[in-house]
Amino acid sequence: MHENIRDLLPAECFSRGTLWIGGQWCCAADAGSFAVTSPIDDRHLMVASRAQATDADRAVRAAKSVAASWAGDSGKRSALMLRIAEEIRKHAQELGTIETVDSGRPISETTTDSVQHAAGLFDYYAGLTDKLHGSTVPMGNDTTALIEREPFGVIGAISAWNYPLLNAATKIAPILACGNTIVLKPAEQSPLVTLLLAALMRKAGLPDGVVNILTGFGPEAGAPLITHPMVSKVSFTGSMKTGRRVAAAAGAALKGVILELGGKSPLIVFDDADLPRAASAAVFSTFKNAGQTCTSCARVLVARPLIEQFVTLCSAIAADLRVGDPLDPEAQIGPLISAEQLARVRRLTAGVDARHVCEERYRPVPGGHFFPPMIVTKYAFDSDFARQEIFGPVMAVRPFDTDEEAWQLANETEYGLAASVWTSSLHRAERARRLIECGIVWINCAHTLSAGTPIGGHKASGLGIEHGVEAAEQYMKVKTSVLMSSGWHSPFGMRSAST
């Protein structure tokens, strides 16, 4: 366990506070704080400042004060974002270590793929800063409409705990590219990597006030951010339950909202699938980050004749996975984020007929929030286990008999985030693309994404888009100006007013 968290974070976070407002580290106005602990062994990491409404107001005003100047020069924004990407890559080891200690994600991922993806987002959106332009519409009679895109101003953002660095970059990069400023509240369960990211952005030359960070809890810091009159739009990633509250609060204030919520995504294996590859994808999708991935396809639907063979393959593949201290480079699965999440997964899986996998390589750290990965083949299809997002290393396997039943079961959920379909039939692949109600359908692959790949939830999985040009467009408002080069003639005529 890494004990020198002080060596990884800015020293001012310990001496002044963990709120980053107007380019300064500071504590909460009421000096409130909370303890940040590691899910690896529940060890105390540091005391973080606990922001309140007063602090949210300070952060929003700091963001508002520089909004006009930040929006002015797309070329400078682009160059600065490229420097941020470079700083992220240069500090991959520090960022990854903090994220692992704070969130429990394996260090083999946090120092490699996670950092590269986060840096790639800043690279991608840096290339869009001068391309998010408007258009013209000829209207006839010497009249032209100018369609312009303008930044909203201050964006309030709340990110989730499962991929803290990537979640922060997913919010910050498109918001900055579009000329907005931001106040970000990272999840209270894993806020620390965002603090180092703030320091790296300042090192890259980001002007004070463009990005502000509030550590704290949703009701105390997030809620005032959503309803603040100077916040023009809200972006939230988290649970469906909290997302409904965010949407209601933003709706009452008549401001736009982007919601990336949960999922109960299917992975469908047809009788003509490449079974070993499908099984490998199912194991990866289900157990990645200990199942704490919104797009996890842990609801596995398998053609009935293949189900025993498929489960045997998955069990054999999962048997080689190593569960344990995520700071061990050999570990592939770490702990759940908190004692509360561990209790929830235990409750949802109580009573199911589970086949535990990787038992010989299951080495939980004492005091940590570890849960043994499992494959479940017998469960009540109308139970909470079947219907709710589990967010743990649990694969639920269910047979189907016909294509039509597969489509029906895939859509038999209030969620609609992702799906993975395995078949050698082009006809089935095309039907999957058309019939499954979700934001992204992977055909013979899973979790294949890039910075330019838009993804968004359907149904209860959210509103709006993350990644891609489509995400950036949401952070700009449209203004239409109509220009007439000749004189305007009123349909009511041109009578002179009588005196």
| Residues designated as active site | 171, 260, 294, 466
Q: Which amino acid is at 395?
A: M
Q: CA angle, corner 232, sides to 175 and 149, nearest 5?
A: 60
| CA 263/CA 293 separation, integer angstroms | 9
CA-nearest of 178, 211, 166 to 78 is: 178
Beta strands in 238-276, from DSSP E residues, in sequence order: 256-260, 266-269
Q: Which residues pair with 442 in a beta bridge?
A: 420
Q: Which residues pair with 19 in a beta bridge?
A: 26
SS3 491: coil
| CA 7/CA 306 separation, integer angstroms | 52
Query: What's the half-sphere exposure (Cβ side, CA atoms, 13 Å) at 19?
Result: 29
Query: What's the half-sphere exposure (Cβ side, CA atoms, 13 Å) at 417?
Result: 28
Beta strands in 186-260, from DSSP E residues, in sequence order: 211-213, 231-237, 256-260
| CA 234/CA 410 separation, integer angstroms | 30
| CA 121/CA 155 separation, integer angstroms | 18
- DSSP code of 130? T
- Burial of 445 per CB tally in 10 Å (0-12, 13-18, 19+): exposed
| CA 17/CA 46 separation, integer angstroms | 11
User: Which residues, at least 6 apart from 398, have a Cβ–Cβ distance to it below 8 Å?
Assistant: 299, 300, 301, 302, 381, 409
Location of structure tokens 């891609």: 468
Do the Cβ atoms of 230 and 59 come closer than 8 Å?
no
State the DSSP H helix or E strand holding residue 374, giving kind and residue range, or none if neither.
Answer: strand 374-378
- Distance in Å from the first CA to the final CA of the chain: 88
CA-nearest of 369, 364, 284 to 325 is: 364
| CA 484/CA 198 separation, integer angstroms | 47
Query: What's the half-sphere exposure (Cβ side, CA atoms, 13 Å) at 264?
Result: 19
